[in-house]
């Protein structure tokens, strides 16, 4: 008899275990992606922090480190997105992940190239729209998830979406162990996606000082704020977040302007390209002009913590699971442990 842990997700993606490592900007590097895939899960490379002309090189790097399937994430509204799509198709990656501002033309190109489309959604209506646009698998992130997130708990949202769409559903938001994997399967999902748990592995590039702030955080130290980039963002409370929460609207907009200039240097995009990206994001997320301007804050403020090792001065995106994580295993150790716990949980239920 086949194991309940050998799910449809495994056969669709060609992976051993029904676990996805999400594409976190600055974190989902080739090294982390390859380690996740080599462990039997599936890693997704982040491109949000890359210049478009760097994507080919980074995909090549993943291929040097693993012969297992992996995916690539992109922001479809970002400057240079078409060049990134070209690279993904040329490299024949296994899957494309995306979330806000889905581009029907890009999705059509992926489908024609045989690349699986795996969007992340945070509401039933978004999942239904994703199916109409051609999604093959849908990742559903509940309110426990890190970074941009909604308010509906994962347990409720996943069950709703499973009933509402005819595509395999992967549960995200609040998962870190084997018991969670079994629970997700009980909700009707075919696997789990994890960000924060993979962020705190040895192959993750997170500096030690930043990782320590995650380990120190309790569940009550995580909040959802809109003061970073105008959208609901789950983060660990630190000195910067307290400052942002107390800042005036004028001060927030001034910081956003500085971030926008820094992002222009980082991305190499022209001002017209940045404006087109901003308008696409505004339409997709129904943002005000001020909120649209604040969108540049995220990559710059996250960089301070995740790359430069200044956790007090940057943003620490995190799922609520950070409050219960206290170790930094390798990806192989983590995936093996999750699968062992899941098997033990299933055996316990059978008894």
pLDDT tens by residue, 67-120: 999 999 999 988 899 999 999 999 999 999 999 889 999 999 999 999 999 999
- The whole-number pLDDT of residue 255 equals 80
Phi, psi of 15 (to 5 degrees): -120, 165
For tokens 């999750």, name the residue: 338
Residue 293 has pLDDT above 90, yes or no: no
Q: What is the pLDDT of residues 257-286, one digit of tens each?
A: 777 667 667 767 666 665 566 556 556 666
Between the CA of residue 12 and those of 9, 168, 263, what are the distances in Å?
Answer: 5, 10, 37
In this structure, the chain runs to a length of: 351
Q: What angle do CA 29, 33, 35 make, to 5 degrees?
A: 120
Q: What does the pLDDT look like over 298-337, one tens digit per residue?
A: 788 899 999 999 999 999 999 999 999 999 999 999 999 9
Contact 316, 214 (CB under 8 A): yes
Strand, coil or helix: 257: helix
User: How far apart (Å, rounded) are the C-alpha atoms in residues 233 and 298?
Assistant: 10
Q: What pLDDT, on a 0 to 100 scale, did the predictor assign at position 279?
A: 57
**How does DSSP classify residue 134?**
T
Rg, C-alpha atoms of the chain: 19
State the virtual CA torsion across 125, 86, 59, 103 in degrees, nearest 10: -10
Domain spans, the chain: 8-205+327-350, 208-320
CA angle 263, 100, 168 (to 5 degrees): 140
Residue with tokens 């240079």: 80
- pLDDT of 264: 66
The superfamily CATH assigns to domain 8-205+327-350 is Aldolase class I (3.20.20.70)
Strand, helix or coil for residue 236: strand
149, 154, 183, 237, 258 from 311: Cα distances, Å: 21, 28, 33, 10, 19
pLDDT, mean over the chain: 92
If we measure between CA atoms, which residue out of 229, 242, 245 comes closest to residue 302? 229
pLDDT attached to residue 79: 84
CB atoms within 10 A of CB 59: 23
Cβ contacts of 270 within 8 Å, gap of 6 or more:
79
- For the ranges 161-165, 227-231, 274-278, the lowest mean pLDDT is seen at 274-278
DSSP 115: P
Backbone CA torsion sign across 150, 153, 154, 160: negative
CA 322 to chain centre: 15
Distance CA 175, CA 196 (A): 9
Question: Which residue bears the tokens 């959208």?
Answer: 231
Percentage helix, strand, coil, to 5, in the chain?
50, 10, 35
CA distance 131 to 251: 41
Looking at residue 123, what is its pLDDT? Answer: 95
Among 132-141, 152-161, 261-270, the range scoring the smallest mean pLDDT is: 261-270
- The pairs formed by 29-34 with CB atoms below 8 angstroms and a separation of 24 or more are 29/58, 29/205, 30/58, 30/61, 30/62, 30/64, 30/65, 31/65, 31/203, 31/205, 32/198, 32/201, 32/203, 32/204, 32/205, 32/331, 33/62, 33/66, 33/70, 34/62, 34/65, 34/66, 34/68, 34/70
Determine the distance from the C-alpha atom of residue 273 to the mean position of all C-alpha atoms in its chain, rounded to a whole number: 24
């Amino acid at each position: 008899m086949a194991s309940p842990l050998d799910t449809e997700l495994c056969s669709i993606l060609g992976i051993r275990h029904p676990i996805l490592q999400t594409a976190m900007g600055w974190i989902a590097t080739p090294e982390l992606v390859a380690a996740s895939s080599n462990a039997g899960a599936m890693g997704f490379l982040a491109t949000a922090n890359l210049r478009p002309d760097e994507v080919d090189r980074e995909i090549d790097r993943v291929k040097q480190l693993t012969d297992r399937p992996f995916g690539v994430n992109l922001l479809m509204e970002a400057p240079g997105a078409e060049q990134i799509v070209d690279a993904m198709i040329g490299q024949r990656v296994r899957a494309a992940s995306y979330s806000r501002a889905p581009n029907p033309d890009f999705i059509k190109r992926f489908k024609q190239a045989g690349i699986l489309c795996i969007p992340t959604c945070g509401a039933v209506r978004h999942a239904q729209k994703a199916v109409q646009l051609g999604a093959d698998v849908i990742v559903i992130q509940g309110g426990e998830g890190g970074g941009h997130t909604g308010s509906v708990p994962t347990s409720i949202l996943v069950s709703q979406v499973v009933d509402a769409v005819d595509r395999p559903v992967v549960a995200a938001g609040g998962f870190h162990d084997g018991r969670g994997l079994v629970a997700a399967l009980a909700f009707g999902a075919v696997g789990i996606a994890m960000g924060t748990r993979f962020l705190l592995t040895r192959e993750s590039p997170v500096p030690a000082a930043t990782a320590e702030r995650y380990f120190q955080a309790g569940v009550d130290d995580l909040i959802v704020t809109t003061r970073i980039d105008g959208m609901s963002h789950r983060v660990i409370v630190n000195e910067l977040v307290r400052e942002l929460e107390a800042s005036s609207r004028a001060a927030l907009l001034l910081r956003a302007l500085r971030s926008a200039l820094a992002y222009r240097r980082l991305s190499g995009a022209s001002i017209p390209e940045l404006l087109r990206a901003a308008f696409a994001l505004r339409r997709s997320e129904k943002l005000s002009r001020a909120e649209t301007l604040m969108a540049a804050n995220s990559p710059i403020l996250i960089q301070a913590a995740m790359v430069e090792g200044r956790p007090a001065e940057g943003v620490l995106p995190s799922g609520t699971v950070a409050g219960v994580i206290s170790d930094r295993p390798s990806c192989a150790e983590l995936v093996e442990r999750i699968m062992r716990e899941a098997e033990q949980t299933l055996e316990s239920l059978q008894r």
